[in-house]
Amino acid sequence: MFSKKTRKGLVGGVALTLAGVMAGEASAAKAILLDKGICKDHAVPVMVEWGNANGYDKRFFMMDNGDIVKMDDGLEFKDVTDLLVAGHGASGNAMGLEAVKFADAIRAGGAEPAKLDNVTMGMCCSAGANGDEKSVIVALQEKFPDIKKIVGSPDTVYLAGYKKADFKSAELSGGYQSGSETALSVLNTNIDVIWRQTSNVFNGAAYSFANSCEKLKEASSKTAGDLPQGKIDAVAWAKFILERIHAIYMPADKTSEPQRSFSMYTENIKAKNPMFTCGKSVVSENPVAKKKCDSF
């Protein structure tokens, strides 16, 4: 069992363990879908940084109403073949949307059933559902019946980098075990303090992460006539926040400033339960996997 301090420090809801479950093809059009969840705690930013390290270098932002906005030049959402979803989730819910509405938003955002091959749910409980609800994985499989692979977990998801060669090699895990409870607790505390206290300059004015995040949340909630400007503002604030997070938490030499290194943090997390992998390429070859995936 872990101490109360460590359990509290571990990021809840989406505590993310470093994952290596997404070995995509060299030609895959990789992208990350994120939302205002980058502001709740450092869990989602850790996942975004891991995605960047693994070639998910194009980003899209989901507004509160499910609209998907392009953050970077180049790749269009309709051309994405390999999608990493980095956000907070719960049973039957992803990024604040009920499972079916989330799947509908992915399709409405332009994702093509004939092109979207792989989806990795870098969030908690995507394979979980309550009562008659559908899990996020089931909803996505129904909306994209030809999807080759979809990865998720009914558990809290972590990025586990214990004894891995580097940050990039970390793996997704359902649940976690600590490599060093003391080190993990210290890292959680230090990262959280820096998260709350760091001041950042945007357009000539200083903002704490908390202030920046209030701006992002306000922009992402815009609807109707305010939506176009809301989308512009949401992308601007999300980019700014992620740039500052990268500069602060991804030092070139992780050992020089271990107290604030995402890499050092994940190296103290051991994988526990394997992720569930479903999709056409899996279930078509494995009747047992099909039964398990259909039961989510």
Check: CB of residue 278 under 8 Å from CB of residue 138. no
Evaluate whether 129 touches 138 at the Cβ level (below 8 Å): yes
199-238 confidence digits (pLDDT tens): 677 777 888 777 888 999 999 998 756 778 899 999 999 9
Closest CA to 187 of 2, 1, 5, 4: 5
Residue 185: predicted pLDDT: 75
pLDDT at position 296 is: 59
DSSP state of 133: P
Q: Report yes or no: 239 and 71 within 8 Å, Cβ to Cβ.
A: yes
Distance (Å) of CA 211 to CA 179, 217, 259:
34, 10, 23
Worst-scoring range by mean pLDDT, 29-33, 53-57, 211-215? 211-215
Residue pair 134/99 in contact (Cβ under 8 Å)? The answer is yes
How are beta strands 82-86 and 68-70 bridged, if at all? unpaired
Please report the pLDDT score of residue 92 as a whole number: 94
Block residue for tokens 């004015």? 205
**What is the sign of the dihedral through the CA atoms of 210, 84, 236 and 200?**
positive
pLDDT value for 254: 80
Q: Cβ(19)–Cβ(46) under 8 Å?
A: no
The position carrying tokens 């604040």 is: 96
**Separation CA 168–CA 186 (nearest Å):** 23
Give the pLDDT score at 208: 76
Q: Which of 208, 126, 129 is nearest to 174 (CA)?
A: 126
**Confidence label for 183 from pLDDT (cuts 50, 70 and 90):** low
Task: Decide: helix, strand or coil at residue 250.
Answer: coil
* Strand locations in the chain (E): 30-34, 58-62, 68-70, 82-86, 89-90, 93-94, 97-98, 118-122, 149-152, 157-160, 171-178, 199-202, 205-208, 269-273, 276-278
C-alpha 47/C-alpha 41 separation (Å) is 11
Measured distance CA(174)–CA(172) in Å, rounded: 7
- CA gap 77, 83 in Å, rounded: 10
Contacts of 211 (CB under 8 A, 6+ apart): none
pTM of the shown model: 0.85
pLDDT tens figures, 75-119:
999 999 999 999 999 999 999 999 999 999 999 999 999 999 999
